[in-house]
Amino acid sequence: MAKPPAGPSRRGGNLPPLSLHVPEPQSRPGDAVDYSHLAISRAGEQPRPDELCEPTETHPLCLDLIRVLDDEHHAVGPWDPQLDPETLRRMLRVMALTRAFDDRMFRGQRQGKTSFYMKCTGEEATSIALAFALADDDMVFPSYRQQGILLARGCSMIEMINQIYSNRADRLKGRQLPIMYSARDYNFFTISGNLATQCPQAVGWAMASAIKGDSRIATCYVGEGSSSEGDFHAAMTFAAVYNAPVIINLVNNQYAISSFSGFAGSERTTFAARAAGYGIAGLRVDGNDALAVYAAAQWAANRARANHGPTLIEHFTYRAEGHSTSDDPGVYRSAREREEWPLGDPIMRLKRHLIALGEWSVEQHEVMDREVADQVRTANKEAEKNGTLGHGLHHPFHTMFEDVYADIPWHLEEQAEQAMRERRIKWPDWEE
Amino acid sequence: MSTEEGPVSLRDAPTRRLGMIEAINEALALMLERDPDVVIFGEDVGYFGGVFRATAGLQERFGKNRVFDTPINECGIIGIAVGMGAYGLRPVPEIQFADYIYPGFDQLASEAARLRYRSAGEFIAPMTVRAPYGGGIFGGQTHSQSPEAIFTHVAGLKTVIPSTPHDAKGLLIAAIEDDDPVIFFEPKRIYNGPFDGYYDRPARAWASHPDSEVPEGYYSIPLGKARIVREGEAMTVLAYGAMVHVAEAVLAEKGVDAEIIDLRTLVPLDIEAVEKSVQKTGHCLVIHEATRTSGFGGELVALVQERCFYSLEAPIERVTGFDTPYPHSLEWAYFPGPVRIGEAVDRLLGTG
């Protein structure tokens, strides 16, 4: 190591020693939970600026929290999107279906039917309410917890399960980790697994739409953890520079696997506040309030469609379950966090709102829960006929070498022949 | 791929003498003209026309929607190209120097290269990433690198390197028309004229070189097809980019009847041309400017050894840059020029 330059202030001076700050969450396993540091705004009190306003008008909202559903389960304030009860019931149903789907698939993984699964429990509103606010042909660049959008857009659960089981009917030919869907027919981009890469891609798609004089907009999702990636900041810069018609959803579910949001910068300011630095519109929304999410998404979509550019939306929510089937949150966070989360559960809140409106009942909800569970069970049975991971019924062997390029080059043909030879030795009874 | 116009041969199309930059500019203009989905962007490529002038005049002619400047962010440049490709455009981003491509590497290696595979063909990345590469211009360690091997190691990418104005135009058109992501590295030492490796001799202009005759209009050179620069019996030289010209000059000066192959595309490689030549000559010399360890030369040596071992009459020779960063003041000590190539030729033929 090089010698430090000599100087009176280097060592032994009277300056205090520097110290490194390593963020520490408020609670760990077994601890009591104290959420008093969270500034939870009262529902209905946040102003709703005009959709075509200057970006700076939105910036106070980046330090606030847009909320519509109050403690009595009424929709209040200027952000109330005034949806009709039928739309609310449809939204509730997709959220319940998503939760039932997650539960079934999680169990499927535990039963050895696949290698991996990721739930979105507690975060359903952040994707599903947005899907209701956007047009079905607006392009979604998901991170990996937006299965609710596929279900909201009517994607077949059987197809989704085929992908999760990597079976012979998997349209992705068994190549992708479970839940890394791709659904061009539902305007749902192929999920990467590399984090935040989808952000500049969504901006590029939005720029293309603007170049072509189209009317469709793009939206992407990124977690608060992966918003530390350079790709997120590249996306924000390009979105700002070209005033791209894109909605960047930053889902702040408090956790990046085991690392609390402090490691992404939450001790300093909100994630929505980053919008101000880039000079674009920003909103910070109660992500467990489906009406608030809908209203924010609709605001941003209308703005983008009117050529007024991008919006960053921070969805403030809580990851109620582990990161994935490979994770056990019990070893790094207090179990009481979920129970005491001050913004509740998105499905419960929408349910109580509908009941408060006189448009729903506990009995109807129970019937609905049974129906969606049945739907999932039926779809799962159907999908299992096509096989589960590691139990035969895969795609034809040669597909491993297809789609690397449009045409198969000589070196891949040679490698495919090698693989076929190995197959005859390793699995002599293989049938295709 | 468009087939409405067949390739034009040098024999019957009107030609002009162009430099490599002009040929690239012409290919870009032609593709902007032919395909409304082609868009071009990068740092300084718009109004200014690029630091090497490759995009000069294109914004004026095709408008800011088709040709525009970008923020200095290679991750963003490649990232938006992936998204544009998903929309249905055919982006041709420029990275100002190959040395600056690394912030965009994840978007290339993990995204563009694998979109088709991971989505089973639902989404593709039909982009061509242009970047000047290579040394010999006193560019120091950040304007001289040859990072091609890093990209040939990524399944799903194609890597193309032209060595003449004629090839630059035809290969670039083919790359843009290709539905797979193509890394198009342009040897900047020979942008304005062929370079024989003798840095202390007067520079030549392209006008004196036969391959500066560039046909007017559309033609494409298929990716994956090498060019026999010179037929010969004594040895096979595998090279690409600026080193093609250096090899030609050195071997001519040594009076060796070498068969010189310009690979043009590294992936997919024209293995047939390589095999055929080595089987004929029994000797093989591999040349590149890039650093030695894990360079593309290593791959070429392995392939020749695997496939032509019983034709070989001497160990394969490999001439490369050194495994150091590209030094500024000692550029010509680093460059794999006539002395290094000459020694390898002597070893190979036992004439040293």
Two tokens at A4? 């430090």
Q: Using the beta-carbon criterion (under 8 Å), do A200 and B180 form an inter-chain contact?
A: no
Tell me whether residue A174 is in a domain. yes
Angstroms from B128 CA to nearest CA on chain A: 14
Full pLDDT tens readout for chain A, 432 residues = 556 555 555 566 789 999 999 999 999 999 999 999 898 999 999 999 999 999 999 999 999 999 999 999 999 999 999 999 999 999 999 999 999 999 999 999 999 999 999 999 999 999 999 999 999 999 999 999 999 999 999 999 999 999 999 999 999 999 999 999 999 999 999 999 999 999 999 999 999 999 999 999 999 999 999 999 999 999 999 999 999 999 999 999 999 999 999 999 999 999 999 999 999 999 999 999 999 999 999 999 999 999 999 999 999 999 999 999 999 999 999 999 999 999 999 999 999 999 999 999 999 999 999 999 999 999 999 999 999 998 766 788 889 999 999 999 999 999 999 999 999 999 888 776
Quick check: B1 pLDDT over 50?
Answer: no
**A420 and A376 co-located in one domain:** no
Q: Using the beta-carbon criterion (under 8 Å), do A411 and B269 form an inter-chain contact?
A: yes
Q: Using the beta-carbon criterion (under 8 Å), do A211 and B180 form an inter-chain contact?
A: no
A5 residue type, one letter: P
The total number of structural domains in chain A stands at 2
Q: Which residues of B touch A139 (CB under 8 A)?
A: 86-87
Tell me whether residue A38 is in a domain. no
Q: Is the peptide bond before B268 cis (omega within 30 degrees of 0)?
A: yes
**A232 and A347 co-located in one domain:** yes
A contact residues 157-196, partner B, Cβ 8 Å cutoff: 171-173, 175-176, 180, 182-184, 189-190, 192, 194
> How much is the pTM?
0.96
pLDDT, tens only, B316-337: 999 999 999 999 999 999 999 9
**A330 and A421 co-located in one domain:** no
Tell me how far apart the alpha carbons of residues A402 and A420 are, in angstroms, rounded to a whole number.
Answer: 14
Determine the pLDDT at residue B4. Answer: 43
Determine the pLDDT at residue A220. Answer: 98
User: In the block, which residue shows the tokens 């100002």?
Assistant: B96
pLDDT, tens only, B253-290: 999 999 999 999 999 999 999 999 999 999 999 999 99
Determine the pLDDT at residue A10. Answer: 57
**A89 and A225 co-located in one domain:** yes
Q: Tell me the angle at which helices B165-177 and B20-34 cross, rounded to the nearest 10 degrees.
A: 30
- SS3 readout for chain B: CCCCCCCCCCCCCCEEECCHHHHHHHHHHHHHHHCCCEEEEECCCCCCCCCCCCCCCHHHHHCCCCEEECCCCHHHHHHHHHHHHHHCCEEEEECCCHHHCHHHHHHHHHHHHHHHHHCCCCCCCCCEEEEEECCCCCCHHHCCCCCHHHHHCCCCCEEECCCCHHHHHHHHHHHHHCCCCEEEEEEHHHCCCCCCCCCCCCCCCHHHCHHHEEECCCCCCCCCCCEEEECCCCEEEEECCHHHHHHHHHHHHHCCCEEEEECCEEECCCHHHHHHHHHHHCCEEEECCCCCCCCHHHHHHHHHHHHHHHHCCCCCEEECCCCCCCCCCCHHHHCCCHHHHHHHHHHHHCCC
Return the H-helix or E-strand segment holding B214. Answer: strand B213-215
**A373 and A407 co-located in one domain:** no
Quick check: B3 pLDDT over 50?
Answer: no
pLDDT-derived band at B341 (thresholds 50, 70, 90) equals very high
pLDDT-derived band at B107 (thresholds 50, 70, 90) equals very high
Q: Using the beta-carbon criterion (under 8 Å), do B75 and A182 form an inter-chain contact?
A: no
Question: Would you kindly state where each structural domain of chain B is located, as residue ranges?
Answer: 15-215, 227-349
Determine the pLDDT at residue A7. Answer: 55
Where residue A128 sits, what CATH number does that domain have? Answer: 3.40.50.970
Residue of B nearest to A173 (CA): B120
CATH number for the domain running over B15-215: 3.40.50.970
**A169 and A274 co-located in one domain:** yes
**A277 and A408 co-located in one domain:** no
Q: Measured between CB atoms, does A278 come within 8 Å of chain B?
A: no
List of E strands, A187-321: 218-223, 246-252, 255-256, 259-260, 281-286, 311-316
Interface with B, mutate which of A185, A211, A241, A411 (most B CBs under 10 A): A211
**A103 and A234 co-located in one domain:** yes
B11 residue type, one letter: R
Task: Please give the average per-residue pLDDT across B210-221, as a whole number.
Answer: 96
**A280 and A377 co-located in one domain:** yes
* CATH class of the B227-349 domain in this structure: alpha beta
Tell me how far apart the alpha carbons of residues A188 and A154 are, in angstroms, rounded to a whole number.
Answer: 12
ipTM for this prediction: 0.96
Determine the pLDDT at residue A123. Answer: 98
Tell me whether residue A83 is in a domain. yes
Determine the pLDDT at residue A11. Answer: 62
Q: Which residues of A touch B62 (CB under 8 A)?
A: none
**Bridge partners (DSSP) listed for residue B286:** B238, B318
**A420 and A369 co-located in one domain:** no
Find the domain containing A414 and state its range.
Answer: 399-426
